[in-house]
Amino acid sequence: MYMSEKNIVFLFALFCYTSCDIGTNLLVNGHPELRLVNDCGGITMTGFAFEPDRIKIEFNGKFSVCTDSLRIKKRGIPVPDSEIMFYLDSVELKDKRPFSLDGKSVLRIFIRQIPSLNYGRNGTIELLPSNFILCNGKPVINDTINFNCKLIKRKRSSSP
């Protein structure tokens, strides 16, 4: 069995295209993830830079989420609502109505503002304090949460 020249060229082009843009895990306040625990349960936040940049929030408990209250800056510039998409358990949320969670759920925030953070390998997404996530009517995010993309410089080993 052999591959036609068109298939080989297509696979080569696909490989070159995908190898040019590699996703990067973001550090959350300097760590691979951020865990918040309160009376309502627990929240785990992680981030990933690609196209688009993504914030993943895993809920385990009883929370209220007001997507219209989300405040995000990317590279110090506020991100408009039109460049943010929400997915709750893999289903796109097309409207900005508040909703409640009870148990385990995953909310993904896609930030379509170009360029993505992994382009240039540095930059920050700031999740600002707001009424975005509530526990018993009180905000869960009271301080800015930073999702950082930084090029990790490797130390050169000295020759013996």
The structural domains of the chain, with segments of one domain joined by +, span 23-149
* pLDDT tens per residue across span 16-58: 444 455 678 999 999 999 999 999 999 999 999 988 999 999 9
Q: Residue 157: pLDDT above 70?
A: no
* 38-49 residue pLDDT tens: 999 999 999 999
Q: Is 68 helix (H, G, I), strand (E, B) or coil?
A: helix
Pairwise CA distance, residues 54 & 26, whole Å: 9
pLDDT at 93 over 90: yes
pLDDT in tens, 140-150: 999 999 999 86
Which band of pLDDT confidence, cut at 50, 70 and 90, is reported for residue 114?
confident
Q: What is the pLDDT of residue 117?
A: 79
Residue 73 has pLDDT above 80, yes or no: yes
Helix (H, G, I), strand (E, B) or coil at 11: helix
